Amino acid sequence: MPRHFAGLHGAATLPTNHFQLVGRIISDLVDFHATGVVHGPAGTGKTYAVEAALEALRDGATGTGIATVNLAFPSRPTMRLVADELLRALTGSKAPSSRSRFYLTAALTDLLTAAPRLVVVDEAQRLTGDCIELLRHLHDHPDTRFALLYVGGDGCWEVLSREPMLRSRIFRRLPFQAIKRDQVPALMRGYHPIYTSAADKLLWEIDDAYGHGTPARLGRLHPHRRHDLRRGRPRADRRRSDRQRVHPARRRSAWLTLAATP
């Protein structure tokens, strides 16, 4: 599994429906050399889910062992930049600047006719219509054999769906959303032992004030607050920390204090 973004020891992967669906969607894209989109607001877990699925794909855990190519671009890249970066990712070297975009497109077509691959474009909301058309052209070529996955945050689907030639070719689409409120307590208890004994009411309070159903915010909460919760506690309570439990009153006070953090 990918490393927890805050380096949190003992944290488990939240088995949300979206997390599990990403693996299935990517498997479908690879099987059919198809195009897909995973998108949603920041912090909802899409990047972690995609990284976990790609890791399983590369390791052969899904029975495929397919090669993956990951790309990300600055805002509004040129077609030449997209072609350059894709060529670099496939070959390990950059094409001479004297080569035209048309030469690069032909070279990419040849490269993408070899072994099947999955090309992943992160932050896809940054792409221009011309860049999207270039990738679509490569993917639609009758000789190429690769799956194409767009991953993006706010505005991603709006950008991609404006291109009718691409939209008609989307084989799988998964919009990530915040965790539903009624699922929060069970998921948080499974996320880390420190939450195991917390009451539903407290976990809902934490989510309402700070988490808002986003795994990234809930994950960022714990490493900051655990240190604060330990300071100045009675000795008996300190012994309980060995089992990663926190006194409910202190836990509630510290977590709600964090709710004021941006």
CB atoms within 10 A of CB 92: 7
151 and 23: one domain? yes
Range of the domain at 219: 183-258
Q: Each residue of 34-48: pLDDT tens digit?
A: 999 999 998 888 999
22 and 125: one domain? yes
CB atoms within 10 A of CB 247: 17
One-letter amino acid for residue 196 of the chain: T
* CATH number of the structural domain spanning residue 148: 3.40.50.300
End residue of a domain, out of 175, 199, 228: 175
Number of domains making up the chain = 2
pTM, two decimals, is 0.78
205 and 162: one domain? no
pLDDT value, residue 210 = 75
The continuous run of DSSP H or E covering 175 comes out as strand 170-175
Q: Is residue 51 part of a domain?
A: yes
Q: Each residue of 126-159: pLDDT tens digit?
A: 999 999 999 999 999 999 999 999 999 999 999 9
Is the model's pLDDT at 235 over the cut of 60? no
- Written as six digits, the tokens of 233 are 């506690």
End residue of a domain, out of 141, 175, 209: 175
